[in-house]
Amino acid sequence: MAKILVIYYSKTGNTKKMAKAVGEGVKERGGEPDVVHVEDFGDIEKLLDYDGYIMGSPTYFGILAAPLKDFIDRSIKVYKKLDGRVGGAFASSGIQGGGNETTIHSITQALKVHGLIMPGFSGAGHYGPAAVGEPDEKIISESRQLGKSVTALAQKIS
């Protein structure tokens, strides 16, 4: 069973709601989700236990929030050990055009440096779910879809 880490930073709860929906999608597709706030993750070497990584962040000045960046920087410990696994990203912003896509890209850039493979999306939210404020039903549904797509890819690869 594909084990997927859904790791996020959230201060006021918007990204957290998306993370929960991503985890539901992983489960619906037959994967095993671990939905964790970045501050609760613990030993970075636990990253080796997963088949896939989905990261979510609020948009802070157009990019990912510092606690998630710090987590990614600490993941240098497992650099070159995650190649060929799968990934994905999601983001939340305060305003439309506030930088959700650049936030998603700032995460996926780092995931690519780790050698991860990521699905794209032909429907709404091409790069991943992007909420403005509290996620509505459409964004919750896209978040579930992200969980499903990453899990399906992990299952195909293994």
Ligand X SMILES: Cc1cc2nc3c(=O)[nH]c(=O)nc-3n(C[C@H](O)[C@H](O)[C@H](O)COP(=O)(O)O)c2cc1C
Single out the residue of 72, 81, 59 nearest to residue 10, CA to CA. Answer: 59
- Name which of 30 and 62 has its Cβ closer to ligand X: 62
Among 54, 69, 71, 93, binds ligand X (CB under 6 A): 93
- Name which of 59 and 106 has its Cβ closer to ligand X: 59
Single out the residue of 43, 121, 114, 108 nearest to residue 85, CA to CA. Answer: 114
Residue nearest to ligand X (CB): 98
Q: Which phi and psi angles does 42 have, rounded to 5°? A: 85, -145
Binding flags for ligand X, 30-69, as an x/- string (CB under 6 A) = ----------------------------xxxxx-------
- Name which of 59 and 151 has its Cβ closer to ligand X: 59
95 binds ligand X (CB under 6 A): yes
Torsion over CA: 22, 65, 47, 152 (sign): positive
Name the minimum Å distance from CB 36 to ligand X: 14
Cα–Cα separations (whole angstroms), residue 14 to 41, 58, 117, 139, 140: 19, 8, 26, 11, 11
Binding flags for ligand X, 120-139, as an x/- string (CB under 6 A) = -------------x------
Q: Which phi and psi angles does 13 have, rounded to 5°? A: 100, -15
98 binds ligand X (CB under 6 A): yes
